[in-house]
Structure 1
Amino acid sequence: MSSMQTWTLVFVVLTFGIYIYIAYASRVKDTSGFYIAGGGIPSPANGAAIAADWMSAASFISMAGIVAFSSNGYGGSVYLMGWTGGYVLLALLLAPYLRKFGKYTVPDFVGDRYSETARLVAVLCAVVVSFVYVAGQMAGVGLVFQRFLNVDTTTGTIIGMVIVFFYAVLGGMKGITWTQVAQYTVLITAYLICAVAISLQLTGIPVPQIGFGQILTELDGLQRDLGIEAYTEAFTDTSMLNMVLITGALMFGTAGLPHVIVRFYTAKSVRGARYSALWALFFISLLYTSAPAIGAFSKYNVINQLSGTTEAEAPAWYQSWRDVGLIEFNDANGDGVIDMAGGDGLGELVINNDIVVLATPEIAGLPAPIVGLVAAGGLAAALSTASGLLLVISSSVANDLYYKKVNPQASEARQLLVGRTAMAGAIVVAGYLGINPPGFVAQVVALAFGLAAASFFPILVLGIFWKKCTAAGAVAGMAVGLGTTLAYQLWTIDIYGNAEGFFGIQETGFGTIGMILNFIVTIVVSQFTTPPTEVMQQLVEDVRYPGRTQLVAAHATGALEEDVLHGERAAEDEPRDTGPDERPGPG
């Protein structure tokens, strides 16, 4: 076993041991702890957990590769703009109000705000989005094990499934949250050590965000010398239309992701949810401002080390990644020399986007312990998001479907059993999808964001800010948004021969179109269908204002019954606090 494999094994065993211990120490015995960690997580810790949950394998493993190995870095910037912009949108526009509404899950909000039919449609949307998203995470786990521990992708994915099964099923949201705090620590430490070391090596500047500027100038010159567009040139491989649509799908999809939204329910209060968002934005920015630098550093090193060499002359890292099938050399002219001129910026080389961050320490010649730490960081990123997604699937089935529809009299123990069983089943399906993913990690994840944008974002926004949005409108909007987007994504898969799509719109950007259709259908149908009850309209009004009226408090604690929220009883039958410290409800 090489020193790199030894160090990788050391870090993997050490970090996995920490995750399992945390899960055991945080094990829960009630549904509140299982679904929302009892609503008692401090803001800094919740912010770190949100960051780990949201920064998936796509962020850690794949994003820098997209930025690096597009024909330039500009096309890959849609992921940076969309994901970070979407988080700000979520933190400011939705999270505090959803937390104040006081339910466990997004389908729970949809069911209470609209109707039980809408709840069922929302459960379907949540499960579809989460399964597509988790496929990318499990594929990332298999990729790391494949390269660094010399096991096949299937075996690596199964190992990841076993670890997630243990701490997610045992600890629920409480165990997952504290595990994700540890996973964030591992992934950000690995990422920043790598970024700082390479920045120092190439530029002499220890701050990668600053050293990045110097390398960009040199990289532009290198690419021009190879006869391709400058690295910073705009719209060379992604049209302006697709830049807008993909950025929109990622942004609005982020604001509609059920596994991220549920994180704000784990905060101690609405104020805590706001501070959690602030902490999460800080933690996220540490990685997202470093990713473009790592992408540029990697491409600079790849061009300098490989362009004009033969495979026999190539460095050891090239041979290692080629042996596991993640680098290919297509010798088009038969001269045996790696020609990186033309094409997509790599010429005769085909490099899997998902290897860039994992390979960067080797490419830069960093010590074996750093290589092992980065591998552990990639696993932490994938597993943290996978566990959050699996909890969404579990809660959708156990809470929103079983408890709310099938057996409302179920005991706490029964609900926990159903939730854990649902999670175990979801892990098996997720593992299968990870072994057979429909694309590279970030591409699969981007499809999930498009589905979230098309299904959940309009319904959440209108549910909070338009009190007359109706149940029929919400059901129709979600069905049209999810249906059209999923159909387009499936239709544009290469096996059907429709990869170009309509007007050249990429499948990763169609979620924006689906979202617009959702908004239109929901608004139009709401104009011609029965409006919500006066109680519901009053509740929507109260949720948007500071303070906590009796109506909001009663709803958050479950004191409002179904016939009050959605039945015929008048709003004036319900108490409203009009004291000096609260906003009186409108007359």
Structure 2
Amino acid sequence: MSTATLITFIVYLLGMLLIGVISYRLTSNLSDYVLGGRRLGPGVAALSAGASDMSSWLLLGLPGAIYASGLSGSWIAVGLAIGAFLNWQFIAKRLRVYTEVSNNSITIPDFLENRFRDSSHLLRVISALVILVFFTFYTSSGMVGGAKLFEASFGLSYSQALWIGAIVIVSYTFLGGFLAVSWTDFIQGILMFIALIVVPIRAISVVGGWDATIDAVGNISPSHLNMVAGVGAIAIISNLAWGLGYFGQPHIITRFMALRSASDVPKARFIGTGWMIVGLYGALFTGLAGLAFISTQDVGMLKELGIAVKDSDAGVQMLADPEKVFIAFSQILFDPVISGVLLAAILSAIMSTIDSQLLVSSSAVAEDFYKAILRKNASEKELVWIGRAAVAVIAVVATLLATNPDSSVLSLVSYAWAGFGGAFGPIIILALFWKGVTRNGALAGIIVGALTVIIWGDFLTADMAPIFGLYEIVPAFLLNLIITVLISLGGKPSPAIEAEFEEAASKY
């Protein structure tokens, strides 16, 4: 890495830390730390939600999947685009209103306990446990992405890169909480947006234009240009089902809760979905252009830049790690300063998700365990510091899980995404749209959804039966929905719960 690239990269990191320090001075209580005092404007909320959603998956995982398998990997992008729009369209406004009506709930477990008047705290505790388990895996995926970036850019070993990346990412989250996370995500979202426009345009131009790129890809692997090549019905359903996950992702839907007003939702929806669609197209084009470009490059030059290559079964020169295609483009095609900005964009994608995940996890520890169970009279300052301590501990555990250099960003994200979508998605939808859902129904649904993801994902394989190759979010979501409805039909919410539902509905 050149000196100019390194300086640009360091300036970016210092800027993120500065935001953390400023936000530290603006954070005085737990509501500020985990929800920013509900003061986010539509632009910040939209880009913060998008950046925390997409993570390193958008700049590493998806381009890598397209590079390796072609457009058959784009079904995930289709499912995500639909799911994100529906989440903004039907969940955002209702959740913003209902969480404020329901005793000003500031976390998802807090909202579920208040919504169902659960004096036993079981809903809160089980929800918080689900968050901690699956966010540890999700955060681990970001640590892997960060390690791959630092490893490829600075010539470090995977282990060194992993721990350096973890320290950088945790620092400003520890200090500034939600305000630091949201404003850094806003800046990072803009940076990611620009990078996903600039890199594929430059790459396609160098290859010789769009037609030349498509011709080159077709000559190397015709199946790369076919969305259904080698993809069965189960795989297509599984990829589209990623969209179901949106309704239960705590780090995304808390952005809805943090909006300054429900009236800001339409503008935020427009910004957020537009950002996402452009970003997804940029990632797809980066993967395709990468296949055409890397196959023609001099091996010696690639090795000098630290880019490992291998020959495919068809004798074509390929990246050893497809998830590094965006990193390779940033190093080869741009001058040192721009390269530094693009590498910062990759780190932005990683940081913007990890910080949100750490924050939601810390709020689960501080608000849903420590305050609710252990010390009901804890001071606001004490809770903020418990939250900060939780950030550090969870980050260490996630980093230890990421120590395998063969870890895949996409596989770790897939597991955690299914966990949240399967456990919380149906419950959030029913809680906002159906007055008749009960506490027992919601509790059973969350447990069934989470356990289905674990059992289906870890113990059942397609070798046993083809149906077990289905992405675990599908059976988890459906079983959760069915169990919650059936158990709720056997009971009846209290008049107070029904009255609060009607109050919230009157404000949508």
TM-score when normalising by structure 2: 0.92
Report what 1:110 is aligned to.
112
CA distance in 2, matches of 1:22, 1:220: 43
Q: Residues 274 and 169 from structure 1, CA distance in 2 versus in 1: closer, same or farther, beyond 3 angstroms?
A: farther
CA distance in 1, matches of 2:374, 2:438: 24
Q: CA offsets per residue over residues 322-379 of structure 1, 9 Å max, x none?
A: 5xxx54x3xxxxxxxx4652xxxx768563231111112345x443333332221111
Residue 63 in structure 1 maps to residue 67 in structure 2 = no
Deviates more, 1:135-144 or 1:397-406: 397-406
Percent sequence identity over aligned pairs = 23
Report what 1:30 is aligned to.
29
Q: Does the 8 A contact of 1:219 with 1:296 survive in 2?
A: no
CA distance in 1, matches of 2:425, 2:330: 39
Query: How many residues are aligned here?
Result: 498
Q: Does the 8 A contact of 2:135 with 2:416 survive in 1?
A: yes
Give how far 1:126 is off.
Answer: 1.4
Q: CA offsets per residue over residues 88-133 of structure 1, 9 Å max, x none?
A: 1211121211111122121112111232212211111211221121
- The letter of the residue matching 1:238 is V
Report what 2:500 is aligned to.
539
Residue 314 in structure 1 maps to residue 299 in structure 2 = yes
CA distance in 1, matches of 2:464, 2:340: 41
Report what 2:177 is aligned to.
172
User: Does the residue aligned with 1:26 lie in a helix, a strand or coil?
Assistant: helix
- Describe how 1:239-388 pairs up with structure 2 within 5 A: 239-248=232-241, 250-305=242-297, 314-317=299-302, 320-321=305-306, 327=309, 329=310, 338=311, 341=314, 351-362=320-331, 365-388=333-356
- Describe how 1:474-489 pairs up with structure 2 within 5 A: 474-489=442-457
Q: Does the 8 A contact of 1:256 with 1:457 survive in 2?
A: yes
Report what 1:581 is aligned to.
none
Report what 2:372 is aligned to.
404
Q: Does the 8 A contact of 2:207 with 2:213 survive in 1?
A: no
Q: Does the 8 A contact of 2:251 with 2:356 survive in 1?
A: yes
- Root-mean-square deviation (CA, aligned residues, Å) is 2.3
User: Does the residue aligned with 1:55 lie in a helix, a strand or coil?
Assistant: helix
- The letter of the residue matching 1:450 is A
Give how far 1:258 is off.
Answer: 0.3
- The letter of the residue matching 2:252 is V
Report what 1:442 is aligned to.
410
Report what 2:203 is aligned to.
198
Q: Does the 8 A contact of 1:455 with 1:477 survive in 2?
A: yes
Report what 1:93 is aligned to.
90
Q: Residues 441 and 451 from structure 1, CA distance in 2 versus in 1: closer, same or farther, beyond 3 angstroms?
A: same
Question: Aligned match of 1:394 in 362, 372, 375?
Answer: 362
CA distance in 2, matches of 1:191, 1:491: 37
TM-score when normalising by structure 1: 0.80
Q: Does the 8 A contact of 2:12 with 2:344 survive in 1?
A: yes
Give how far 1:35 is off.
Answer: 1.0
Residue 45 in structure 1 maps to residue 44 in structure 2 = yes
Give how far 1:303 is off.
Answer: 3.4
Give how far 1:390 is off.
Answer: 0.2
Q: Does the 8 A contact of 1:8 with 1:376 survive in 2?
A: no
User: Does the residue aligned with 2:402 lie in a helix, a strand or coil?
Assistant: helix
Give how far 1:82 is off.
Answer: 2.1
Q: CA offsets per residue over residues 403-439 of structure 1, 9 Å max, x none?
A: 1232222111121121111112112112212323784
- The letter of the residue matching 1:230 is S
- The letter of the residue matching 1:287 is G
CA distance in 2, matches of 1:99, 1:522: 23
Q: CA offsets per residue over residues 483-518 of structure 1, 9 Å max, x none?
A: 0211222225xxxxx5645315436x1211111111
Report what 2:126 is aligned to.
121
Q: CA offsets per residue over residues 219-255 of structure 1, 9 Å max, x none?
A: 45314xxxx543222433331222112321x111122
Q: Residues 397 and 501 from structure 1, CA distance in 2 versus in 1: closer, same or farther, beyond 3 angstroms?
A: farther
- The letter of the residue matching 1:513 is P
- The letter of the residue matching 2:497 is M
User: Does the residue aligned with 1:154 lie in a helix, a strand or coil?
Assistant: helix
Q: Does the 8 A contact of 1:216 with 1:231 survive in 2?
A: no
Q: CA offsets per residue over residues 182-217 of structure 1, 9 Å max, x none?
A: 22233333332222222333345xxxxxx4xx3564
Unaligned runs of 5+ in 2: none
Q: Does the 8 A contact of 1:19 with 1:182 survive in 2?
A: no
Give how far 1:137 is off.
Answer: 0.5
Question: Aligned match of 1:513 in 475, 478, 502?
Answer: 475
Q: Residues 274 and 539 from structure 1, CA distance in 2 versus in 1: closer, same or farther, beyond 3 angstroms?
A: farther
Q: CA offsets per residue over residues 129-164 of structure 1, 9 Å max, x none?
A: 211211110100011111111112222222222223
CA distance in 2, matches of 1:426, 1:367: 37
CA distance in 2, matches of 1:121, 1:200: 52
Q: Does the 8 A contact of 1:188 with 1:286 survive in 2?
A: yes
CA distance in 1, matches of 2:405, 2:111: 31
Which of the pair is proportionally richer in helix?
2
Q: CA offsets per residue over residues 510-535 of structure 1, 9 Å max, x none?
A: 2111111111111112222x321112
Q: Residues 274 and 402 from structure 1, CA distance in 2 versus in 1: closer, same or farther, beyond 3 angstroms?
A: farther
- Describe how 1:426-441 pairs up with structure 2 within 5 A: 426-436=394-404, 439-441=407-409
Report what 2:225 is aligned to.
232
Residue 144 in structure 1 maps to residue 146 in structure 2 = no
Give how far 1:545 is off.
Answer: 3.9
Structure 1 consecutive aligned stretches of length 4 or more whose deviation exceeds 6 Å:
none
Give how far 1:290 is off.
Answer: 1.2
- The letter of the residue matching 1:110 is L
- The letter of the residue matching 1:316 is M
Q: Residues 11 and 499 from structure 1, CA distance in 2 versus in 1: closer, same or farther, beyond 3 angstroms?
A: farther
Unaligned runs of 5+ in 1: 205-210, 306-312, 330-337, 493-497, 548-587
Q: Does the 8 A contact of 1:132 with 1:445 survive in 2?
A: yes
Q: Residues 105 and 502 from structure 1, CA distance in 2 versus in 1: closer, same or farther, beyond 3 angstroms?
A: farther
CA distance in 1, matches of 2:85, 2:327: 28
Report what 1:332 is aligned to.
none
Q: Residues 298 and 350 from structure 1, CA distance in 2 versus in 1: closer, same or farther, beyond 3 angstroms?
A: closer
